[in-house]
Amino acid sequence: MSLHQVKYCNKYDLSFLVQSRGNGWADTFHLGNCGFLIDISGLNKISFNSNKTQATIQGGALVQDMINAAFGNNTRFATPTCNCLGYLGAFLGGGITREMGLYGAGVDQIVSVNLVTASGQALQVDQTHNPDLWYAIRGAGANFGIVTSAIIKAYPIPQALNIAWEGAVTFADEKLESLIQAIHDLDLKPHMEIDFLFSTSGPPTYTPMITAIPFFLGNASAAEAAFAPILKVGPTSNGATELPYTEWGAFTASFCEKGERKPVYGVSLARQGLDAEIWRSVYDEYKGFVAAYPEAANSTILAEYYPIQKQVAIGSATSSYPFRDIPVHVAVIPLYANSSLDAAANAYGSRVRDLLRATDGLARNST
């Protein structure tokens, strides 16, 4: 399908862009006055090999569908946090998943792909076929062609064991420094991950609030022991609970909502970037922004802290993905309806990014 569309666009010298699930954050997707958007969301078939250790997926497969298919087959994929993503849209750029500590990066899950190049060639790409492209697509994939299908690793696990403990654990404002220090000091084992979030309570008061979202692949008692230093900080509420694989993404469903304006500012940090003093300044910036612009009260700042041992051990020589040594990913997400707020939102996002960058602990700018 994509092959014919690419050939047609080449024949008539038309620009084209592939779109899967439409969550791309880049603001450089311009087709000019006349161009083709090649929608691959209908390419969404998923099938497993006999022992459920691999799946063949089409280029537009949706994360939610991958989870449901795997659960039904007593197996599991490395899974991004939000259900609305195109699985390959996420993984061709690197791929951050809840199971990163066990399975490595998203690019490490790809066994082989079928690719249509910009000039309309259909190629098999893997370790032995087109090895240069194989290196390139796993990290910079969206630049090298349309992946029409891929073979992806799967990890057999009975449904009853395919559980995780996660949920919202909220903290009072004055606990922020203790929470950040506890996250910084946490022994982040491969089956753990933790996010923290600045948001507001919603209507009617829109009070700023601090939430941690611990995630543990396993049962509640093991999870509570692993996250004891976080729970010891003294939350105001603890909604973390055991959930089956199919429900892990429900918690982040609001991030998937389309519409409104979201000029996201991303920053990556080393563990040292979990600096209590800086995060107090970031929270002050957040509170200042939502107080000054009540129409942007659903804005958030989300930080995700991952165990990176496995993806580091796999090694950067294996693919073009350059961020294996980075454990913390932050998204500053101003959210509002009216473009008149763009300048203020961009100034705020850029201020927060500069604050975090100043103490990111990284040898190079990884924004």
- How many angstroms separate the CA atoms of 88 and 68, rounded? 16
For residue 147, give the 3-state DSSP assignment: strand
Closer by beta carbon to ligand FAD, 99 or else 275: 99
Among 64, 78, 80, 335, binds ligand FAD (CB under 6 A): 80
Closer by beta carbon to ligand FAD, 139 or else 273: 139
DSSP string, 322-359: --TT--EEEEEE--BS-GGGHHHHHHHHHHHHHHHHHT
Size of the site for ligand FAD (CB under 6 A): 30
Distance of CA 14 to the CA centre of its chain: 32
Interacting stretch for ligand FAD, rule CB under 6 A, among 78-86, 124-132, 168-176, 273-281?
78-86
Interacting stretch for ligand FAD, rule CB under 6 A, among 17-25, 122-130, 161-169, 307-315?
17-25
Among 7, 22, 135, 266, binds ligand FAD (CB under 6 A): 22
**In the window 95-114, what residues touch ligand FAD (CB under 6 A)?**
95-96, 106
Among 6, 18, 69, 297, binds ligand FAD (CB under 6 A): 18
Closer by beta carbon to ligand FAD, 140 or else 231: 140
Is 46:57 a contact under the CB 8 Å cutoff? yes
Beta strands in the chain (DSSP E): 15-19, 35-39, 46-48, 54-58, 75-76, 110-116, 122-125, 146-153, 155-156, 163-166, 169-171, 192-200, 208-216, 237-238, 241-244, 265-269, 300-305, 328-333
The residue type found at 147 is V
Give me the sheet containing 46-48, strands edge to edge.
Answer: 46-48, 54-58, 146-153, 110-116, 122-125
Distance in Å, CB of 199 to ligand FAD, minimum: 14
Closer by beta carbon to ligand FAD, 28 or else 33: 28
Distance in Å, CB of 316 to ligand FAD, minimum: 17
Closer by beta carbon to ligand FAD, 87 or else 279: 87
Residue 362: φ, ψ to 5°: -105, 150
- How many angstroms separate the CA atoms of 185 and 196, rounded? 15
Among 5, 9, 20, 183, binds ligand FAD (CB under 6 A): 20
Residue 109: φ, ψ to 5°: -90, -15
Convert residues 34-73 into a mask of x (bound to ligand FAD by CB under 6 A) and - (unbound): ------x------------------x--------------
Enumerate helices (H) and strands (E) in the chain, giving the number of each. Answer: 11, 18
Structure tokens at 193: 């991950």
23 binds ligand FAD (CB under 6 A): yes
For CA atoms 88, 91, 93, 95, give the dihedral sign. Answer: positive
Distance in Å, CB of 307 to ligand FAD, minimum: 15
Closer by beta carbon to ligand FAD, 302 or else 362: 302
**In the window 228-267, what residues touch ligand FAD (CB under 6 A)?**
255-256
Closer by beta carbon to ligand FAD, 134 or else 171: 134
- How many angstroms separate the CA atoms of 124 and 285, rounded? 49
Q: Is the peptide bond before 204 cis (omega within 30 degrees of 0)?
A: yes
- How many angstroms separate the CA atoms of 157 and 323, rounded? 29
Convert residues 185-214 into a mask of x (bound to ligand FAD by CB under 6 A) and - (unbound): ------------------------------
Residue whose beta carbon is closest to ligand FAD: 89
Convert residues 129-158 into a mask of x (bound to ligand FAD by CB under 6 A) and - (unbound): ------------xx---xx-----------
Distance in Å, CB of 175 to ligand FAD, minimum: 26
Distance in Å, CB of 248 to ligand FAD, minimum: 11
Which residues lie near ligand FAD (CB under 6 A)? 17-25, 40, 59, 80-82, 85-86, 88-90, 92-93, 95-96, 106, 141-142, 146-147, 255-256
